[in-house]
Chains A and B, each alone.
Chain A
């Protein structure tokens, strides 16, 4: 069965480059979340979409981070002018209902900034 799919699985970029991370949620899932997981830590919330609307972006660490979900399905997290502290695993999760039920996670994108 199709789960949450993220690409690429691994991304290496030089400091200052822009990167784009993609998330394909489970078909029909209304809610989509992005999380950032540093090594040895639990995931931390970045931003939340309900269909195409970005309802919460309070977790984005700076204005270099931008996320979109223009058609209410696939989402892209973009990081501009990357810095070393952006190195982390970026996880995407989706859930069927806006405010209830379990969140289903993808395998994440491991981003390394050199």
Chain B
């Protein structure tokens, strides 16, 4: 059974710092991996999606990497801003089984201090 773990559970950094959020998964037979942002009381906003054949994806100050063989992904946030404060969720989609349901980690709660 696929399990997704995110470390750390919470992170507090001063504004301007570069930071890395970690995600690991137990079954490497994934179709893709998606990083989301969730603000309090809101749904999930998709940040980056990495297909299993890709190594990384970039969007603005965000860079996500994928090492499928070792079961790891990282989300790198450059020059963090207070507006980046949110919970960041990692989710994988397996081959086979249900056609597309995501398996989520518990998230990393990020706080960026001005």
Contact = CB atoms under 8 A, between A and B. Distances in A.
Contact of A42 (B42, B45, B46, B107): B107
A45 B99 contact: no
Contacts of A4: 43
B98 A50 contact: no
Interface in A40-61: 40-45, 48, 50, 55-56, 58-59
Interface stretch (A13-21, A66-74, A79-87, A94-102): A94-102
Nearest to A43: B104
Interface string B68-105: 00000000000000000000010100000111111111
21 contacts: A4-B43, A31-B99, A40-B106, A42-B89, A42-B105, A43-B102, A56-B101, A58-B98, A91-B43, A98-B99, A99-B99, A99-B100, A100-B31, A100-B32, A102-B49, A103-B100, A103-B102, A105-B43, A105-B44, A107-B41, A107-B42
Nearest to A103: B102
Interface of A: 4, 6, 31, 33, 35, 40-45, 48, 50, 55-56, 58-59, 91, 93, 95, 98-108, 110
Contact of A45 (B4, B46, B98): B98
Nearest to B102: A103
Given A40-B106, A42-B107, A33 B43 contact: no
Interface residues of B, number: 25
Interface of chain B, main secondary structure: strand
Contacts of A45: 98, 101-103
B98 A43 contact: no
B65 interface: no
Contacts of A50: 99
A98 B100 CA distance: 7
Contacts of A42: 4, 89, 91, 104-107
Nearest to A4: B43
Interface in B7-60: 31-32, 34, 36, 41-46, 49
Contacts of A103: 34, 46, 100, 102
